[in-house]
Structure 1
């Protein structure tokens, strides 16, 4: 799949082949390479979005930030 190619999640079922048990219940799925790569890409994008949202929440609340005064003291202490 080239970077210019776009595959939507709706395209994946066209490439899916389901393995079923004796009762006809799906037990496994086989995807072609493009379908598998599309799913992996979508999952990675979702993970990236979740990380960005978490970091954005921390930024808004100031969580993980060092107050400037504390940073200045640390700089002064390191300079000695």
Structure 2
């Protein structure tokens, strides 16, 4: 479910002038909204990491280097 679909489930509390003051949402809708936000955040992080200029190394090499650094302590 997308943001627009979730927003259809929002209930707005308005003042005497009809101005929106707050939003009421069911907890299940809140959880779905949080999941969407986390997905967006993850996607942005993936994009940032892909654009990074740092060279990646194979996992086996990283594991060897990590074990070596722990042996030095």
Q: Does 1:29 align with 2:53?
A: no
Distance in 2 (alpha carbons) for counterparts of 1:34 and 1:9: 14
TM-score by length of 2: 0.64
Matches within 5 A, 1:1-80: 7-58=1-52, 61-62=53-54
Q: Which runs of no fewer than 5 residues in structure 2 stay unpaired?
A: 58-67
Moved over 6 A (4+): none
Aligned residue for 1:22, secondary structure, equals coil
Count the aligned residue pairs.
Answer: 60
State whether residues 17 and 30 of structure 1, in contact with CA within 8 Å, keep that contact through their aligned partners in structure 2. yes
Distance in 2 (alpha carbons) for counterparts of 1:55 and 1:13: 31
Q: Which runs of no fewer than 5 residues in structure 1 stay unpaired?
A: 1-6, 67-74
* Structure with bigger gyration radius: 1
Aligned residue for 1:18, secondary structure, equals strand
